[in-house]
Chains A and B, each alone.
Chain A
């Protein structure tokens, strides 16, 4: 049982890394009261998925995906470029999300003078919302 588990983890360690990162990010988003920490958690979460995609595309001994006569004749294998392109787009999306999130945190700091979630909720209650 133990051997099987170790073999399973080490054979697919790239997926385990993204799973662990994802859960760290998820935990930070749920458990942390500080809004900046939530944003960091969100970023870790997104990065975990990006790493998953990139490791999906990789192949042992793969070359860069420039198809030439040589590659075809010599029987080289090349890395699938499509996930990289997808993730390039997803990174742009993640940057936009982070930018909006940070802008909102700044605005909240201006309004409430704090970035702790509980204090903000308390102040909102005082304001009668």
Chain B
């Protein structure tokens, strides 16, 4: 008999799917209830995910066999330290985004689109949870597609997002097809789809061309999904033209889930052994990531659309994470910086997109940084939150960004990769430039006509609270990392994948 907590992984996915269709039905009767059903569901899921994390850390990995069919024949849900941690991140940011969406979506979308919006929102959450908890690689493909299709539709729910949504659809489908092809290759040589089973069957076949080709397909497919340079071309448009609440969830939660999917394929299907045999692979990933960092930073500097600037900054941060993955086998820190940065980036980028949305909510022209004159006085709380998060992103200690970079630098010094440390320093410099440019316009430049003190014109409380909460968390979490409180998670991840020991 399974304990209740061991049933939570499947329930997390199921209640989200159920609530999507509940919203569709109940929304027809009472349109106002959609948002509350959505928030209540995600809240329940979040509580469950905390129980799962606690159970995983104290008792051990959860295995749930769907329909009671034993793996490798049946589909299995496996939740270990990495899953549980990503599940908490994605549900927390979905919750923030759902609370924020109440007013923001009413403002941005016509009222007949509210019901489909929340239905798709719940499907997106269900897809993300599914990708995270599953231990079966084909099941992962299906959930990736559920997540992505919901995201295509959500991005395109506004008129300006149509083109971006379509581009993302075409590129995302190619990515998913590559992923499916990779699964086909692995299935043709092993006859298994269960991740754990694959990791046992594959090592003797690492020399096989089919297995190697499959890895390249996985890398390309998931590279598109997580917007890894040079496959990021859909991402700036999609982030910039989506409704604000959608920008938040796809930039913070969905990119985290995509990176997680890649980590899962890299370490649970293929193993650390594979990376060690094909060391140039890790080097190639590191160099691509280094280019992504520089490219993202330079392009972010050139933007005057705040959301687009943040999108390029996301390209840069995906680069940080992948750089940490690239050096993970040659340092005693293992995956520590990468796993850390998943949470830190999600919090900071989530907060900045919330703020970008808040400005657009107040005045439609405020997507443009050049229009930001005097905003620091007009919207004091939001702008203060912007400064705090931007500082955390500029690696001021003890912000969340600082902690990631600190451990990333430790990893490089440990691995002897000084060139990447130089790349990091250069990117920090550019980050400081592009954020201080915005802050300078917001506070420094006051127009002649605005001599008198402007009236304070803040966003509604249901939008302001998520902003302030995330801004505070981007510092508190940094301090928590420095106190090494969540380190059991990182140690569990490293020991599970056999990392952290330099051979």
Contact = CB atoms under 8 A, between A and B. Distances in A.
A70 B141 CA distance: 37
B242 to A, nearest CB: 13
B184 interface: yes
A97 interface: yes
A104 B165 contact: yes
A49 interface: yes
Interface string A94-129: 001100110111011001000000001100100001
B162 interface: yes
A53 B138 CA distance: 13
A39 to B, nearest CB: 8
B435 to A, nearest CB: 25
A7 interface: no
A56 interface: yes
B174 interface: yes
A96 B145 contact: yes
Contacts of B162: 104, 107-108, 111
A107 B156 CA distance: 9
B174 A104 contact: no
Interface string A75-98: 000000011001001100100110
Nearest to A93: B145
- Say whether chain A's binding surface is mostly helix, strand, loop, or mixed: helix
B166 interface: yes
Contact of B174 (A29, A108, A120): A29
Given A83-B187, A89-B142, A108 B149 contact: no
A20 B141 CA distance: 24
Contact of A35 (B159, B160, B166, B193): B166
Interface in B156-181: 156, 159-160, 162-163, 165-166, 169-170, 173-174, 176-177, 180-181
Contacts of A46: 173, 177
Given A46-B173, A52-B184, A86 B138 contact: yes
A104 B152 CA distance: 9
B169 A120 contact: no
Interface in B175-198: 176-177, 180-181, 183-184, 187-188, 193
B163 A120 contact: yes
A7 B180 CA distance: 28
A129 B160 contact: yes
Contact of A93 (B142, B152, B163): B142
B55 to A, nearest CB: 30
A100 B149 contact: yes
Interface in B116-175: 138, 141-142, 145, 149, 152-153, 156, 159-160, 162-163, 165-166, 169-170, 173-174
A61 to B, nearest CB: 20
Contacts of A101: 166, 169-170
Nearest to B172: A97
A90 B180 contact: yes
A124 B237 CA distance: 13
Contacts of B184: 49, 52-53, 56, 83
Contacts of B156: 104, 107
A81 B162 CA distance: 39
B170 A38 contact: yes
A86 B184 CA distance: 10
A97 B145 contact: yes
A26 B160 CA distance: 26
Nearest to A52: B184
A97 B169 contact: yes
B154 to A, nearest CB: 11
B160 A97 contact: no
A44 to B, nearest CB: 11
Contacts of B174: 26, 29, 42, 45
B177 A56 contact: no
A8 to B, nearest CB: 14
A37 B157 CA distance: 23
Contacts of B193: 86
A82 B165 CA distance: 33
Nearest to B241: A129
A6 B177 CA distance: 29
Nearest to B159: A111
Given A38-B170, A96-B149, A100-B153, A49 B177 contact: yes
Interface string A54-79: 00100000000000000000000000
A97 B19 CA distance: 22
Contacts of A90: 141, 180
A86 B187 CA distance: 11
B326 to A, nearest CB: 28
B469 to A, nearest CB: 32
Nearest to A96: B149
Contacts of A100: 149, 152-153, 169
Given A97-B149, A124-B163, 16 more contacts: A45-B174, A46-B173, A49-B177, A49-B184, A56-B184, A83-B184, A86-B183, A86-B187, A97-B169, A100-B153, A104-B156, A104-B169, A105-B166, A107-B162, A108-B163, A120-B163
29 contacts: A29-B174, A35-B166, A42-B174, A46-B173, A56-B188, A83-B187, A86-B183, A86-B193, A90-B141, A90-B180, A93-B142, A93-B176, A96-B145, A96-B149, A97-B169, A97-B173, A100-B149, A100-B152, A100-B153, A101-B169, A104-B152, A104-B156, A104-B162, A104-B169, A107-B162, A111-B159, A121-B163, A124-B163, A129-B160
Which 5 pairs show the lowest CB-CB distances between chains A and B?
A93-B145, A104-B166, A108-B162, A53-B184, A97-B173
